[in-house]
Every structure is written in structure tokens, then in C-alpha cells.
């Protein structure tokens, strides 16, 4: 699913107890710039410091940078995070098809202190960093300010830049001393029948829970409902997998999948049906695949107007650089009550639009605003989207 980090390893050791140190591999050491298949050094993700900002200013024309995408999101209850994608021209000589083309510069801000953005003034940036805070300034008055800032340049010719030339020799020396690639774990054997279905269903459920931050689909199915449906799945899979007779084990996996489906409300059952569509599962889940979902619960509808809290705002500028131009887009994620007073709040995604102008301030994420006819308001000028 992802590389093993220090916090994940500590969590896994806590679950496994005394056997954890033997079973869980150590955390990989962080690496610097890597070498591509041609032996050229490639940029890595760096913490944005004053030195890094200075090197970037030497190799790229930051005053001519264009904001391609801005995403500001509330994580947890109060932590505001942001990610920014810039199109930046190179300031070192290149030839051929790369000449005149910009590269993508990605910035991630772990803790946002202030955001002031206007798409009409999103040309030209300046990077400022000190020990406590980093500021990315847009145009004449825009700013994204925070701490825990990391930056990466997606530039396949970086080895020709000033910083890349200095890093080339170091990376080649490190590559010679680095250990070989870690061997993948061999599976115990191929899965067939109901055991394969159970494995695929459980895998897709985990992927769904991990991908709920996708702005366009965050309101489709509640991750809590999926977690409730699969409560205890790990122990159940281990117990069923320990059954020796293949036909007994296969029947037990079939009952296990049916048990997961039986715990679901209507929304999660529909998600199950869509997820399993096209697979050879009709013999296992005929009722679900035929579209007969259990109507034990009423689908929860989110009101289109009413109180709302902004949890995510994403702006994408029109992209005309490639052979297939893409229009601009503004996407919001709002937390809204799903019923009467005291009912739980759910995520709602208003219809995305192509904005003529997008303006965002930090205040848009503070407190509760209101959604009316697809427009969210939370104070004067906190969030303004002019539609085309």
C-alpha cells in the first residue's frame, strides 16, 4: 500500500507485541537524489529552507511561474493543509523539445497559517523561508504561509541545472554504495474461488478508505460505514484460512463475504455491487449482483441548502500546454447535516464548475457558513467563485 514509515512501524510493533521486531522490517533510510535508467540524477522531495529556495531561484524563473493547482484542506478537526502545483520555466540552457517548456513544481504545506489567493493574480511567485515559517507569495498580494513545507521539481533535465550538476557526483557515489533492491515477499500461493473474491473485496475496501480524500468522490460512501461492514475482518480471514479442507474453506469464505454484505446499509451495498461488477461472482453473490439490495435502511440525503463547513477547496487552472487542453475547475467539499438537528454531518460535493475567477481566504475554513443553490458563503470575500 505504501512504504513503511516510522510511525506506521511503531503502530505495527504495538499490535504484534514481542514478535514485532522479528516480523516488521526496519524503516528504510531516507535517500537523496536518485539516478534514472540513464544514470542522470533526478530531484528528490526537499524540506523548503532558505538555502533550497535560493537554489531554486537560480535554476528556475520563479517570477514567471503560473499556479496550475491549489488545494487547501482541513485535516482532522482544525489542522489546515495545502498543496500547490506550479508551472515554472527553466533558467538553464536546454535544447530540443524541452526548450520553452515549463516544468511542474509541487509544494506541500503540512500546517497552513494563512492563505490569500486570487486566480486573477496567480502569476509570478517568490519563496521566503526562515527557521519557523515559509511563505509562497503570488503576484502582488497573494500568499500561502505555513510550516512543514516540502517541495519537489518534476524536471527530467534537472541534472543540467546548477544544483543538479553539483548533486550528480554525490548521487553516483551513493548509488555505488547503496544496497540492492529489497526482495519482494513471495505469496503463499494463488487464490481461487471464494477466497480470491474475499481477498479482492477486502483489498478494494481498504483502498476505498485510503482514497476518501479524493475531492470528487469523498461524499460517495462514508468510510465509517465501510469500516463497520468489515469490522473484525482480519481475524475472520485468518480463522477461515486456517481451515484445512479446500471445499470447507471455500464455503467459509463465501459466507464471510455474504456476512460483510449483510452488515451494509443501502449505500454500501450499492458500492459493493459497483465494485464487483464485471467479475465472475454471480455464483457467489447472486442477490447482490442482480441488484436486489436490502432496504433495511433509508439512504441518507444531504440537503442542497443549509449550514455547511468548508473542508476542502481545490482550484485547477486551465491547462493549454499539452495536445489536449483541459478547462479550469473549482471543487469544494462541505460537511453538512444529513437530517434534523442533532443528526450526524456528512460530506457533500457540490457540482464542480469552471471558474472565471477563484478567490480564497483562510477565513473560509473558520466556523460554519451556508450553502445556497450551490454557492458557499462564510463571511465577506472569504470564498468567491465567479462562474463562466
Integer CA distances (angstroms), 275 to 134, 189, 267, in order: 42, 24, 12
Length of the chain: 388
Examine the pLDDT at 385 and tell me if it is beyond 80.
Answer: yes
Q: What is the DSSP letter of 119?
A: G
Match 481566504 to its residue by C-alpha cell.
361
Q: Which of 386, 370, 366, 357 is CA-nearest to residue 119?
A: 357
Grid coordinates representing 99 are 526548450
Between CA 231 and CA 120 the distance in angstroms is 48
Q: What is the DSSP letter of 181?
A: P
Which residues, at least 6 apart from 281, have a Cβ–Cβ distance to it below 8 Å?
A: 197, 289
Examine the pLDDT at 303 and tell me if it is beyond 90.
Answer: no
Match 467479475 to its residue by C-alpha cell.
279
Lowest mean pLDDT among 219-233, 277-291, 295-309: 277-291
Between CA 42 and CA 171 the distance in angstroms is 9
pLDDT one-digit tens code per residue, 150-201:
999 999 999 899 998 888 877 767 666 655 555 555 555 677 778 888 888 8
Spatial contact of 145 and 158, defined as CB atoms under 8 Å apart: no
pLDDT one-digit tens code per residue, 319-355:
876 677 889 999 999 988 877 667 778 888 888 889 9
Mean predicted lDDT score pLDDT of the chain: 81
3-state secondary structure of 352: coil
Spatial contact of 71 and 215, defined as CB atoms under 8 Å apart: yes
* 157 φ/ψ angles, rounded to the nearest 5 degrees: -105, 20
Lowest mean pLDDT among 42-51, 111-120, 320-329: 320-329
Lowest mean pLDDT among 19-33, 220-234, 356-370: 19-33
The pLDDT value recorded for residue 297 is 37
Spatial contact of 336 and 345, defined as CB atoms under 8 Å apart: yes
Where does residue 215 fall: left (phi above 0), alpha (psi -120 to 50 degrees), or beta otherwise?
A: alpha
What does pTM read for this prediction?
A: 0.71
Residues 275-283 have a mean pLDDT of: 55
Amino acid at each position: 500500500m505504501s512504504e513503511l514509515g516510522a510511525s506506521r512501524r511503531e503502530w505495527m510493533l504495538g499490535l504484534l507485541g514481542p514478535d514485532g521486531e522479528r516480523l516488521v522490517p526496519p524503516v528504510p533510510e531516507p535517500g537523496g537524489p536518485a539516478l534514472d535508467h540513464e544514470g542522470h540524477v533526478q530531484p528528490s522531495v526537499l524540506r523548503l529552507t532558505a538555502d533550497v529556495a535560493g537554489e531554486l531561484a537560480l535554476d528556475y524563473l520563479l517570477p514567471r511561474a503560473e499556479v496550475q493547482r491549489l488545494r487547501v484542506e482541513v485535516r482532522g478537526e482544525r489542522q489546515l493543509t495545502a498543496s500547490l502545483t506550479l508551472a515554472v520555466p527553466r533558467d538553464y540552457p536546454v535544447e530540443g523539445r524541452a526548450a520553452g517548456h515549463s516544468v511542474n513544481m509541487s509544494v506541500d504545506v503540512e500546517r497552513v497559517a494563512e492563505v490569500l489567493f486570487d486566480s486573477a493574480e496567480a502569476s509570478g511567485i517568490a519563496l521566503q523561508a526562515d527557521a519557523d515559517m515559509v511563505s509562497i507569495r503570488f503576484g502582488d498580494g497573494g500568499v500561502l504561509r505555513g510550516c512543514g513545507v516540502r517541495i519537489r521539481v518534476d524536471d527530467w533535465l534537472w541534472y543540467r541545472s546548477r544544483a543538479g550538476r553539483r548533486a550528480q557526483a554525490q548521487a553516483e557515489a551513493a548509488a555505488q554504495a547503496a544496497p540492492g533492491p529489497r526482495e519482494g515477499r513471495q505469496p503463499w500461493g494463488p487464490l481461487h474461488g471464494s477466497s480470491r473474491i474475499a481477498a479482492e473485496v477486502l483489498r478494494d475496501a481498504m483502498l476505498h478508505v485510503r482514497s476518501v480524500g479524493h475531492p470528487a468522490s469523498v461524499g460517495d460512501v462514508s468510510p465509517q460505514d465501510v469500516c463497520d461492514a468489515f469490522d473484525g475482518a482480519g481475524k475472520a480471514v485468518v480463522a477461515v484460512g486456517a481451515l484445512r479442507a479446500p471445499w470447507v474453506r471455500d464455503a467459509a469464505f463465501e459466507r464471510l463475504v455474504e456476512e460483510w454484505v449483510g452488515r451494509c446499509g443501502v449505500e454500501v451495498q450499492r458500492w459493493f455491487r459497483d465494485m464487483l461488477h464485471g467479475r465472475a461472482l454471480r455464483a457467489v453473490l447472486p442477490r447482490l449482483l442482480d441488484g436486489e439490495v436490502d432496504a433495511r435502511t433509508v439512504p441518507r440525503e444531504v440537503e442542497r441548502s443549509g449550514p455547511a463547513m468548508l473542508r476542502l477547496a481545490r482550484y485547477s487552472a486551465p491547462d493549454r500546454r499539452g495536445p489536449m487542453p483541459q478547462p479550469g475547475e473549482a471543487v469544494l467539499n462541505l460537511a453538512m447535516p444529513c437530517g434534523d438537528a442533532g443528526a450526524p454531518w456528512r460530506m457533500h460535493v457540490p457540482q464542480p464548475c469552471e471558474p472565471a475567477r477563484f478567490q480564497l481566504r483562510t477565513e473560509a475554513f473558520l466556523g460554519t457558513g451556508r450553502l445556497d443553490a450551490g454557492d458557499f458563503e462564510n463571511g465577506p470575500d472569504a470564498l468567491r467563485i465567479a462562474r463562466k
